[in-house]
């Protein structure tokens, strides 16, 4: 129900706003639909280049950075009386175990392959961009938000998707993306 927030910095008003909205939705669902089984998780995502970059800037380790910032997020949500059931950190051992189990299940079922991706990447926006969508300033390319992009070429893991599954996903997307019509 809620995003897990990057632990590269302390929370800002947008994090709290999102948490309050999610909390309101969960509380409403529980009251209106008598749904006490709904679970509300919130927490911090503690990996990635932006965390590594911030830790280097602060002359600390990525783990020390996220340990500190994660506690700041948790304290904020507790102080705001956010009614979460679980504050999760992606560095929690049970999270690592669950991800490892998921990965091994996919691997055992030969659902993972290798691939290659290349494009202009913004670390802060965590997005690949096409060159036509970037602004050139000198020798560098920048996003509309002013973030510098670097050409990145990487080998990575991809899901192996067979034709029946591809067709199923395409059909689902077409159904899910149809505009609503009023009667």
User: Do residues 119 and 130 touch, judged by C-beta distance below 8 A?
Assistant: yes
Q: Does residue 183 register a pLDDT over 50? A: no
Q: Which domains does the chain have, with CATH numbers?
A: 4-95 (3.40.50.620), 119-159 (no CATH)
- List pLDDT tens digits, range 130-160: 999 999 999 999 999 999 999 999 999 998 8
User: Do residues 119 and 128 touch, judged by C-beta distance below 8 A?
Assistant: yes
The number of residues making up the chain comes to 183
This prediction has a pTM of 0.78
User: Do residues 43 and 71 touch, judged by C-beta distance below 8 A?
Assistant: no
Instruction: Give a three-class secondary structure readout of 65-111.
Output: HHHHHHHHHHHHHHHCCCCCCEEEECCCHHHHHHHHHHHHHHHHCCC
Instruction: Please tell me the predicted confidence (pLDDT) of residue 164.
Output: 83
- List pLDDT tens digits, range 45-91: 999 999 999 999 999 999 999 999 999 999 999 999 999 999 999 99
User: Do residues 43 and 73 touch, judged by C-beta distance below 8 A?
Assistant: yes
Instruction: Please tell me the predicted confidence (pLDDT) of residue 145.
Output: 95
φ, ψ of residue 155 to 5 degrees: the values are -90, 145
Mean of per-residue pLDDT scores for the chain = 92
């Amino acid at each position: 129900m809620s995003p897990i927030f990057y632990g590269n910095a302390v929370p800002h008003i947008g994090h709290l706003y999102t948490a309050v909205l999610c909390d309101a939705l969960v509380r409403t669902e529980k009251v209106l639909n008598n749904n006490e089984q709904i679970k509300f998780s919130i927490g911090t995502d503690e990996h990635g280049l932006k965390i590594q970059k911030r830790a280097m800037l602060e002359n600390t380790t990525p783990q020390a950075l996220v340990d500190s910032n994660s506690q700041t997020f948790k304290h904020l949500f507790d102080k705001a009386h956010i009614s979460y059931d679980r504050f999760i950190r992606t560095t929690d051992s049970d999270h690592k175990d669950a991800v490892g189990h998921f990965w091994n299940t996919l691997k055992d079922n030969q659902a993972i392959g290798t691939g290659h991706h290349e494009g202009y990447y913004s670390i802060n926006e965590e997005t690949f961009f096409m060159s036509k969508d970037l602004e050139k300033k000198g020798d560098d390319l920048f996003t509309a938000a002013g973030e510098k992009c670097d050409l990145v070429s990487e080998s990575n893991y991809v899901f192996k998707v067979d034709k029946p599954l591809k067709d199923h996903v395409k059909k689902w997307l077409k159904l899910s993306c149809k505009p609503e019509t009023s009667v």
